[in-house]
Amino acid sequence: MNGGGVAAVIVITDGILNAFKKNDALSPDRAKTKAELHIRSRWIFNNLVSKGVIRQVSGDRYYVDLQAQKRYLRRRNTALVVVTCTVVTIAIILALVWR
């Protein structure tokens, strides 16, 4: 996936998580349907469900597990920093070698 694709996934993911926050779907008793949250992205939504960030309760109702979200975002941000540092390091090395 190219940089633009990665950025798009991040934006869509953050939009989905923000929809849950805005609608207070942050616990099982406040779970909402995808329609109530106006969520259309199936692949990214299902990915968050499979990672346990979004939990399903009673049929088609969902909520965000805040602890799982915190772990997910920490891992995602760490991966982004590592990739960015690696790309910058390679660019610097290539610039020095090809002088």
In tens, the pLDDT along 50-87 reads 999 999 998 899 999 999 999 998 887 787 777 778 88
pLDDT band for position 4 (50/70/90)?
A: low
DSSP 51: T
Q: What is the model's pLDDT at position 24?
A: 96
Using the predicted structure, report yes or no on whether residue 3 has a pLDDT greater than 70: no
3-97: CATH topology: Arc Repressor Mutant, subunit A (1.10.10)
Are 23 and 37 contacting, i.e. CB atoms less than 8 angstroms apart?
yes
pTM recorded for the entire structure: 0.77
